[in-house]
Each structure stands twice: as C-alpha cells, then as structure tokens.
Structure 1
C-alpha cells in the first residue's frame, strides 16, 4: 500500500469530515466542489411512449478525469441512486449522427454503503424525497416564469430592442 503524503492525508480528512449545509450535517465533497468525469462508449436505448415522451436507459463506466486524493471518498462497492433532471440539446449532423449536450441537476435520492445490504432510505422514503425535490423544482420554475415577462405578451418599442407589454384583448364566449 502506498504511503500518503501529508497533503493527501489532509485532503482525505477534509473530504471525510462532517460538514453542515443549511443546518444539516453531511460528509463528502464540500458544497461548491466539482468533479470531472470521462465516460466510456456507452449504450443509450430509448422507446417512444407518446408523441413527446421517451423512456431511456443508459449504461456505461465513468472514470474520474483526475485522481481522488488517496484515502478519500467512499469505499469501493458503495452505490448511489441519483435522479437526473436535465436539458438534452440535440442537433442532427447527417442521416445517422447527432451531436448531444446535456445540462441539468443530479439529486441524490439514496445511497447504499459497501458493507450494507439495504439503501439509506426505504422505497417509500425515496419516493417521498423525489416528490419533494420535483415539487421544489416546479415551484422554482413557476417563480422564474412569473419574474420574466412572456415574449408573447411583449412587442418591440422603437429600434432599441426595448419592449412594452402588449394590450390584452378580452374575447366574449
């Protein structure tokens, strides 16, 4: 086994030390930290469920682009259940090729420690956590929509790109 340098040992201790966020304790990377991953060639399968809804699966190995500090992080065999809410922007390049870019949010629903047979939350608790997360996201989208005027309700004023609200026409039934 390799010896850790003093810096590596300090990084591992920092990573594994309890921290708090909004009054709640947690361990792991500090809020605001980041990872960069490289994904092997994976397989994305999708099935069209409705005109606008697709169900997909994606399976691949991902690899850290750099190296974790020795001794940091969770033990090998630890599992996570994440819920991903993302934008996928796709552009057709030719008959069989598309460029794809995704950006969004990844929410930890539960985890399973390497030495445990059960998840950190029951299926019912995981479902409640997911519902709470999605309700928060819907609320956030609604607040955002209320603070930004709709383009359909605005018309340009002069050539300077300023806009003013369009008058609404009341229609009788």
Structure 2
C-alpha cells in the first residue's frame, strides 16, 4: 500500500466498516512505519483490472505480530482473496521474525473466524465491548508458532484469485 492507495482504501473501508472505519490519518500513520530499515508495518493492496478490491495490514513489535486489518470488496467474497491477503501478512510476520501472530475479530464475523481457523489461529479470549459503536465483543485469536503446533504456521495454500495482483 502506498499513499496513492489511501483514497480507494478509504472507500472500501467505509463500505465494509461504516461504524468504525479507520480515518485517513490512521492509514497515513501506519504507512509512515511501513518503509525503511526500521519498518514495523506491512500493508498490501489487491488490485483487479485497475480497481482496488482488498487490502490488509500487519504491525510487528519484537517477536509479536498483530493483524491490524483485512478487507475484501463484497463482490470478491468467497474467491480466496482474503486468504491470499492473510498469506501475505504471514509472510511479513516471518520476515519480521515474529514468533506469534495475534488478531481480533468481531464475535459475529463467522466468515473471518473460519478463515483464520483454516490458517491455524485459535481463540484465546475476548475483549468485551471492543468494537464501537455497538459495544460488540472481539474474539482474540493467536497463531501458535510452528514448534508448538507441530505443523507449519499458516500452512494452507490457496488456489489464488485470477487477475488479482497483490501489491505491497
């Protein structure tokens, strides 16, 4: 993701997360930490036929990574694009030498939970009233390091999404 992606990202953000959409400033702040030798963030976009159809971001701190966001345009749901974006974030976590990856998702977002579970994330707790407005709880999930689970972290492979390019 680059600065010129922010406007189309905001459009998708407002469509998918109308009540708690990130602001332009939040994306600028994240991107400020995504370049150079001291980078602690990785943000990617998915583009199909010159249209932004998804984006995702990861923050790292020490040996811990946190999935900040994954968003896929509604007309791309069920195509495997969310899995491809998650794979990119997990590659970034490996590059950042993170031992664990954490995330939060709405307790009512079963689609996202199933995606994360396919990649080996396990529920470890809740954050009560995390999503505002609406006071919706967040399910906290953790991807165990490969050494704990006995299988490679994030092992599932997707078939890919034809004609969709993932750009960092």
Could you say whether these structures have the same fold, taking a TM-score greater than 0.5 normalized by the shorter chain as the test? no
Relative to its length, the structure with more helix (as a share) is 2
- TM-score, normalised to structure 2's length? 0.23
Q: Which has the higher contact order (CA 8 A, sep 6+)?
A: 2
For normalisation by structure 1, the TM-score amounts to: 0.22
Structure richer in strand, relative to its length: 1
* Greater C-alpha radius of gyration: 1
